[in-house]
Amino acid sequence: MNAETRRGEGATGRFGDGSVKLNPADKVVVAYLGLIAILILVFVYRIESWGWLCAGHAVVIALVCLIARWDRRLSTSSDRTVASFIHDWYPVGLMGLTYKELTYLIPRIHPRDFDSALAAIDHRIFGVHPTVWLERFTWPPLTEVLQLTYSTYYFLPIVLGVVLWKRDNPDKFHFLVFVVVLGFYLSYLGYIAVPAIGPRFLPSIVEAQTTSLTGLLFFQPVRRMLDSAEGITRDCFPSGHTELTLLVLYYARKFHRCTFWWLLPFGIGIVLSTVYLRYHYFVDVVAGALVAAAIVVIATPLYNNLPTRESQRA
């Protein structure tokens, strides 16, 4: 069995009078929530709702422990499937909540946008702003396809996860969840460290653009829907779309080759669309790729040295 799918034997904790064994993904979730709570306390003088936010983080951490405890206590009962399902999939919902929280927190924790600096790096590399240079390739059908492809980013990790979960491959599934959670939260910390809203909002680039992006039927509705759902979250650096897409493609190829070939065209389209659609600077894409590569390097040893739960599927 590969090291990446090895089950570790970890130490158990205690929560109340029941045993709790947090798996590696749970550990990453708790660590991220705890770190953000610490940042909220450090910048309490800028955050009006700091008390509610810290209380919310404490509640979510407690819920993660309760879910892990419930999963373990019912591991031999007829309700085991429900407990395992919730434990396996709760990070999907939590990702959205923690992401939306950044819309409020980032301007208060780090109230400076780095768009000018990121744009300057791009310009220094290419001698031109990449989004301006790419105007020569804009074509409504291509814009339409890339905008639709860009929105599939949210589904790629779910698709691979469902495939592994349905094939009753818990080792690979749990490892994938760990990698995805780690990838998302590292990118979130990047957004806090280097806030940026993207080239489509930077005045110097907007003024240099001579062509507006136009699609066919769905470009504008999809773009508005994403803008409304995501808000101004200052989520450019590193490019999470690039990072998570590359991670999913890497592990799809490693764990389920057939799914990899199905996801590959979407993955290529997502990475290409980041700059073409003016969501990201080129340096964001490079940073996202480097973070993905770093996660691939550290994921296996980190996973194998964190407490893991016992197999829930005999």
168 band by pLDDT with thresholds 50, 70 and 90: confident
Per-residue pLDDT at 74: 58
Delimit the domains of the chain by residue range: 3-304
What are the tens digits of pLDDT across the range 188-209? 999 999 999 999 999 999 999 9
pLDDT above 70: residue 240? yes
Please give the mean pLDDT across all residues of the chain: 89
User: Comparing 157 with 313, which gets the higher pLDDT?
Assistant: 157
Q: What is the pLDDT of residues 220-232, one digit of tens each?
A: 999 999 888 877 7
- Say whether pLDDT at 12 is over 70: no
Q: What is the pLDDT of residue 213?
A: 95
DSSP letter at 13?
Answer: E
Residues of the chain with pLDDT > 90: what percent?
81
Strands 18-20, 13-15: pairing kind: antiparallel
Q: With beta carbons less than 8 A apart as the criterion, state whether 195 and 113 touch.
A: yes
Q: Which residues of 229-263 are buried (b: 16+ CB within 10 A; e: fewer)?
A: eeeebbbbbbbbbbbbbbbbbbbbebbbeebbeeb
Q: At 127, which amino acid appears?
A: G
Helix ranges restricted to H, the chain: 24-42, 50-73, 80-109, 115-126, 130-133, 140-151, 156-166, 170-193, 203-208, 219-230, 240-255, 257-276, 282-304
Question: What's the Cα-to-Cα distance from 287 to each of 30, 90, 279, 296, rounded to whole Å?
Answer: 25, 28, 14, 14
CB 276 within 8 A of CB 146: yes
Q: Check whether 259 has a pLDDT greater than 50.
A: yes
Rounded CA separation 267/26 (Å): 27
In tens, the pLDDT along 121-165 reads 999 999 999 999 999 999 999 999 999 999 999 899 999 999 999
221 vs 189, 215, 216, 226, 279, CA distance in Å? 30, 10, 10, 9, 16
**pLDDT, position 82:** 85
Structure confidence at residue 88 (pLDDT): 93
- Two tokens, residue 204: 């110097």
Measured CA to CA, the distance from residue 239 to residue 307 in angstroms comes to 30
| Contact yes or no for 219/159 (Cβ under 8 A) | no
Pick the residue with more confidence: 187 or 168? 187
Structure confidence at residue 81 (pLDDT) = 74
Most confident of 6-15, 72-81, 88-97: 88-97
Contact present, 122 and 196 (Cβ < 8 Å): no
Say if residue 76's pLDDT is above 60.
Answer: no
Give the span between the Cα atoms of 102 and 108, in whole angstroms.
10
| Interval 87-108 mean pLDDT | 95
